[in-house]
Amino acid sequence: MAILTSDIWPTLDYSRVPFRLYHDAEIYAREQERIFRGPVWSYLCLDAEIPNPGDFRATYVGETPIIVNRDETGAVKAFVNRCAHRGARVRRELSGNAKNHICIYHQWCYGLDGRLTAIPFRRGIRGKGGLDASFDMCEHGLRPLQVGNVNGVLFGTIAGDAEPLEDYLGAPIIAELRRLFERPVRVLGYTRQRVRGNWKLYAENTRDNYHASLLHEFLVTFGLDRSTQVGGVRMDARHRHNITWAEAGSDTDEFAHQAYGSAQVRNDYLSLKEPELVRFRPERNDNLGLVVTSVFPSAVFAQISNSLAVREIRPRGIDEFEVFQTMIGYADDPPEMTLHRLHQANLVGPAGLVSMEDGEAIEIVHRTSKPEPERTTIIELGGGGVISDRDYRVTDVPLRGFWSYYAELMGIEPAGAVR
Amino acid sequence: MSADRGAVQDLLAEYGALIDAAKFDEWLGLFAAECCYQVLPRENYDRGLPVALIFCDSRALLEDRIRALREANKYNIHTDRHIIGLPRILMHAADGPTVEAPFAVYQTDQEGETRLFATGIYRDRLERASGRLTIRDKLILLDTFAIPSLLATPL
């Protein structure tokens, strides 16, 4: 494909991204191959969701369907959820407990290790029909993923050539996962949202510190989160992942009033009839009220006040993606804390008081950028040039980190580009 | 009992019409002084998981939700159309019946394109006070739990 070369980038610091990258079907196909089936680690599910032998969950890596299960020995195994025979989806249910996985089409049977264990009429009937004796069942199991685990968070990789998980994530991300998953968790529920936009617009959105208090007016109007707070962005060495963080109550109303006022941004603070809805209850020895961790390509770990969640961006073609969100609490939360988390679940997800706008923002970008693929976005808050951590919030520099690694994996990294 | 049925149908018809007309203050007026409103994905309900898309277990929270919708939230510009099916009366009680009704909500954008936005059932505990039925407890069990775009206006 002629258009997909390193010439696609107008600048070497990824401060301009051509709209084409959100709309071209061939680009999408290459992403599935080189990113999702390439040397990345994707979030699969939580250890806590498959506690017992035989427990399974069906998920996706990119658009590839995946089974994650716990085998008889207690080990977690993951494989592509596609029958070796005709390509049918083997496990159709989303979760459950089973001794094996049997394809409904011709009842080929796979063990919890993904090995092909039985084929009906393998030797035919009365010596006629069936498979040739040379057919080797060992060669036709479900394609395995390599699985890694950080504090009960399970990741998988389809390609054989990924670097070790800890190297892939890097020290800041590992530290944040250990912080968020310092105690055993339990799942409180799931939410799903189908957005009519390209999946990368959401990957950018979660790295975009600048939009938060502008698009999500609830944050400022009801005094939950403001750009005047102490906060910033922290990335891994390769700048492919990002942690957006902010300290609760670290600015004064007066300072925020002044800053938003002089920027001509509405900042008349309203009060809630139920202020508990936004009250942050510190849970550890830090004052971080917001930590949004984006792991390349498509996982997000979010602590927004006391709501805790893992989000997966699931691409569904070039023009649509699903945000699958797993809401969690700690296994030892007292009932009263669980109730607080359920109240604060109002803040996030498809109906979230501080998140519903993302769906609309992404859809209007996607729709409007489509007619002129050669035009570009601007990514320059916090300046262009070098990609580095920032200790302020009016920045979108981690988006350039995302594109830098994207370009590398897609084989379109220009000579002399920043990393 | 048949008087109940008429009153239940009137309440449900009013409920849908007020949302579709974006008359949210009057819509709030259909709820009892102490009330609960929640939108629960069927995926969670079936697994016994408590997370709701909207969880207002007090009138204060429900009023805050409507205030935020007006004052802070931005969402797709659209109109809603509620199609509410025939109610089943699940239980008669002295202080009011518990009823269930299927619903569908269509959304129409500014350019006249309509899509099915959501379907599910209402499970309502109603309260009778001074001759009038109000909503004490509304559970919206959402079949369409993969929310198209976003959920802003109440279901």
pLDDT reported for residue B2: 57
Amino acid B129: pLDDT: 85
**Quick one: tokens of A367?**
């729709």
Name the least confident of A74-78, A256-260, B53-57. A256-260
A vs B: CB pairs below 8 A: 122
CB of A353 within 8 Å of a chain B CB? The answer is yes
Does A192 sit within 8 Å of B145, measured CB to CB?
Answer: yes
Q: Assign 3-state DSSP to chain B and report helix, strand, coil percentages, each to 5.
A: 30, 45, 30
Closest approach of A314 to chain B, Cα-based (Å): 12
Task: Count the residues in chain B.
Answer: 155
CA dist., res. B36 & res. A350, Å (int): 20
Helix (H) or strand (E) holding B93: none
Mean pLDDT of A264-289: 87
- CB-based contacts of A311: which residues, under 8 Å, 6+ apart? A206, A299, A300, A301, A302, A323, A324, A325, A326
**Please, what are the domains in chain B?**
2-142 (3.10.450.50)
Q: CB B150 to CB A322 under 8 A? A: no
Look at B151 and A357 and tell me if their CB atoms are within 8 Å.
Answer: no
For residue A193, list chain B residues with Cβ-Cβ distance below 8 A: 146-147, 149-150
Enter the CATH code of domain A42-150. 2.102.10.10
Given pLDDT bands bounded at 50, 70 and 90, which one contains residue A270?
Answer: confident
- CB within 8 Å: B49 and A190: yes
3-state SS of B11-78 is HHHHHHHHHHCCCHHHHHCCEEEEEEEEEEEHHHHHHCCCCCCEEECCHHHHHHHHHHHHHCCCCCCE
pLDDT for position A371: 97
CA proximity to A113, closest of A159, A82, A145: A145
Option in A273, A342, A363 nearest B149 (CB): A363
CATH H superfamily, domain A170-410: Naphthalene 1,2-dioxygenase Alpha Subunit; Chain A, domain 1 (3.90.380.10)
Query: Over pLDDT 70: what percentage of chain A?
Result: 99
The mean pLDDT value for B13-36 works out to 98
Kindly report, residue by residue over B88-129, the tens digit of the pLDDT: 999 999 899 999 999 999 999 999 999 999 999 999 999 998
Q: Taking the model in full, what pTM does it have? A: 0.96
C-alpha–C-alpha distance, residues A343 and A357, integer Å: 19
Q: Is A351's Cβ below 8 Å from some Cβ in B?
A: yes
User: Is 90 exceeded by the pLDDT of residue B54?
Assistant: yes
Beta bridge partners of B80: B107
**pLDDT recorded at residue A303:** 98
Residue type, B21: A
Which chain A residues are Cβ-neighbours of B109 within 8 angstroms?
none
Q: How far apart are CA B101 and CA B13, in angstroms?
A: 11
Q: Tell me the average pLDDT of chain A.
A: 95
- In angstroms, the Cα distances linking B5 to A176, A387, B100, B133 are 56, 66, 12, 11
In this complex, the residue of B51, B64, B151 whose CB is nearest that of residue A345 is B51
Q: How many CA within 13 A on the CB side of residue B152?
A: 26
Residues of chain A with CATH 3.90.380.10: 170-410
- Summarize the confidence of residues B55-71 as an average pLDDT: 96
Q: If DSSP codes are grouped into helix, strand and coil, which group holds residue B71?
A: helix
What are the tokens at A279? 């009250």
Q: Do B51 and A192 touch (CB under 8 A)?
A: no
Where are the domain boundaries for CATH 2.102.10.10 in chain A? 42-150
- Indicate if the pLDDT at residue A310 is higher than 90: yes
The span from the CA of A147 to the CA of A162, in Å, is 11
Sign of CA dihedral A118, A119, A124, A127: negative
Contacts A273 to B, Cβ<8 Å: 60-61, 63-64, 67
Q: Give CA–CA dist B15/B8, Å, rounded.
A: 10
The full DSSP string for B96-147 is --EEEEEEEEEEEETTS-EEEEEEEEEEEEEEEETTEEEEEEEEEEES--EE
Contact call for A218 and B68, based on CB within 8 A: yes
Q: Residue B52: its chain A contacts at CB < 8 A?
A: 189, 342, 345
What digits encode the pLDDT tens for the residues A169-209?
Answer: 999 999 999 999 999 999 999 999 999 999 999 999 999 99
Whether A42 shows a pLDDT value over 90: the answer reads yes
Amino acid letter, residue A145? L
pLDDT(A90) > 80: yes
Q: How confident is the model at residue A262 (pLDDT cuts 50, 70, 90)?
A: confident
Within 8 A of B74 by CB-CB distance, chain A residues are 215, 217, 357, 360
Tell me what pLDDT residue B1 has: 52
DSSP A221-250: HTTS--TTSSEEEEE-TTSSSEEEEEETT-
CA–centroid distance for A301 within its chain: 7
* Cβ-defined contact of A274 to B60 (cutoff 8 Å): yes
Give the H or E element holding residue A148: strand A144-150
Contact residues, chain B, for A190 at CB < 8 Å:
41, 43-44, 49, 51
The answer to whether A294 and A206 have CB atoms below 8 angstroms apart is: yes
